[in-house]
Structure 1
Amino acid sequence: MATHDRHIATLALAHALSAAERGLPVIPLSPTKLPALPTPHRDESEPSACRGECGRPGHGVHDATTDPAAVRALFAAAPWATGYGIACGRPPHHLIGVDLDTKSSTDSLAALQHLALRHLFTLPPTVTVLTPSGGRHLWLTGPPDTVVPNSASRLAPGIDIRGAGGYLVGPGSVTAHGAYRLAPGTADLPLAPCPRALLRLIAPPARPHHPASPHPPQGQGLIHFVLAAHEGQRNTRLFWAACRAYENGIGDTLAPALTTAALRTGLTEREARATIASAARMTARPHPTGDA
Structure 2
Amino acid sequence: MAEHGAVSSVLLRMSGAWPLSAAAREFAAAGVPVFPCAPWGKRPATEHGFHDATTNLDQIEAWWRQSPGANIGVPTGAASGTVVVDVDVHGPVDGRTSFDRAHRAGLVDGWELLVRTPTGGLHAYYPARPGTEQRSWQAGRAGIDFRGDGGYIIVPPSTRSIEGTTVGYRVEEVNTGRTGLLDSDALRDFLDPRPAPRPRPKTWRPVGREDAQRLAAWLDRQDTDRNLKLFWASCRLAEGGVPLTDALDAVLTAAKSDFGPREITATVRSAYRTVRGEPARRDPSSSSVLGESRLAADGWFSRDPARPSTGPSSVRGL
Q: TM-score, structure 2 length as denominator? A: 0.47
In the alignment, which residue of structure 1 is the partner of 2:132? 146
Amino acid in the other structure paired with 2:146: I
Q: Is the 8 A contact 1:25 1:90 kept in 2?
A: no
In the alignment, which residue of structure 2 is the partner of 1:72? 61
Gaps of 5+ in 2: 1-15, 190-318
Structure with bigger gyration radius: 2
Q: Is the 8 A contact 1:140 1:191 kept in 2?
A: no
CA pair 202-65 structure 1, distance change in 2 beyond 3 A: farther
Q: Secondary structure at the match of 1:15?
A: helix
How many Å apart are 1:16 and its aligned residue?
1.3
CA pair 170-189 structure 1, distance change in 2 beyond 3 A: farther
CA pair 191-161 structure 1, distance change in 2 beyond 3 A: farther
In the alignment, which residue of structure 1 is the partner of 2:95? 108
Amino acid in the other structure paired with 2:27: A
In the alignment, which residue of structure 1 is the partner of 2:44? 35
CA pair 97-201 structure 1, distance change in 2 beyond 3 A: same
Amino acid in the other structure paired with 2:119: S
Amino acid in the other structure paired with 1:66: T
In the alignment, which residue of structure 2 is the partner of 1:267? none
Q: Is the 8 A contact 2:111 2:124 kept in 1?
A: no
Alignment of 1:148-227 (within 5 A): 148-153=134-139, 156-177=141-162, 178-186=166-174, 192-196=179-183, 198-202=184-188
Q: In 1, Cα distance between the equivalents of 2:177 and 2:54? A: 21
Alignment of 1:225-236 (within 5 A): none
Q: In 1, Cα distance between the equivalents of 2:58 and 2:133? A: 29
How many Å apart are 1:86 and its aligned residue?
0.7
Q: Secondary structure at the match of 1:164?
A: coil
Q: Is the 8 A contact 2:27 2:33 kept in 1?
A: yes
How many Å apart are 1:70 and its aligned residue?
2.8
How many Å apart are 1:36 and its aligned residue?
1.6
Deviation per CA, 1:55-96: give whole Å up to 9, x if none.
Answer: xxxx211111123233213323x4264311011113451x21
CA pair 153-20 structure 1, distance change in 2 beyond 3 A: same
Q: Secondary structure at the match of 1:143?
A: coil
Deviation per CA, 1:166-196: give whole Å up to 9, x if none.
Answer: 110011112232333323343x969943333
Aligned length: 170
Gaps of 5+ in 1: 1-7, 40-58, 204-292
CA pair 72-176 structure 1, distance change in 2 beyond 3 A: same
Q: Is the 8 A contact 1:83 1:174 kept in 2?
A: yes
Amino acid in the other structure paired with 1:133: T
Amino acid in the other structure paired with 2:45: A
Q: Is the 8 A contact 2:78 2:128 kept in 1?
A: no
CA pair 189-92 structure 1, distance change in 2 beyond 3 A: farther
Q: Is the 8 A contact 2:139 2:145 kept in 1?
A: yes
CA pair 189-24 structure 1, distance change in 2 beyond 3 A: farther
Q: Which has the higher contact order (CA 8 A, sep 6+)?
A: 1
Alignment of 1:8-87 (within 5 A): 11-31=19-39, 32-37=41-46, 39=47, 59-76=48-65, 78-79=66-67, 81-87=69-75
Q: TM-score, structure 1 length as denominator? A: 0.50
How many Å apart are 1:104 and its aligned residue?
4.7
CA pair 90-147 structure 1, distance change in 2 beyond 3 A: same
How many Å apart are 1:11 and its aligned residue?
1.4
In the alignment, which residue of structure 2 is the partner of 1:127? 113
In the alignment, which residue of structure 2 is the partner of 1:96? 83
In the alignment, which residue of structure 1 is the partner of 2:272? none
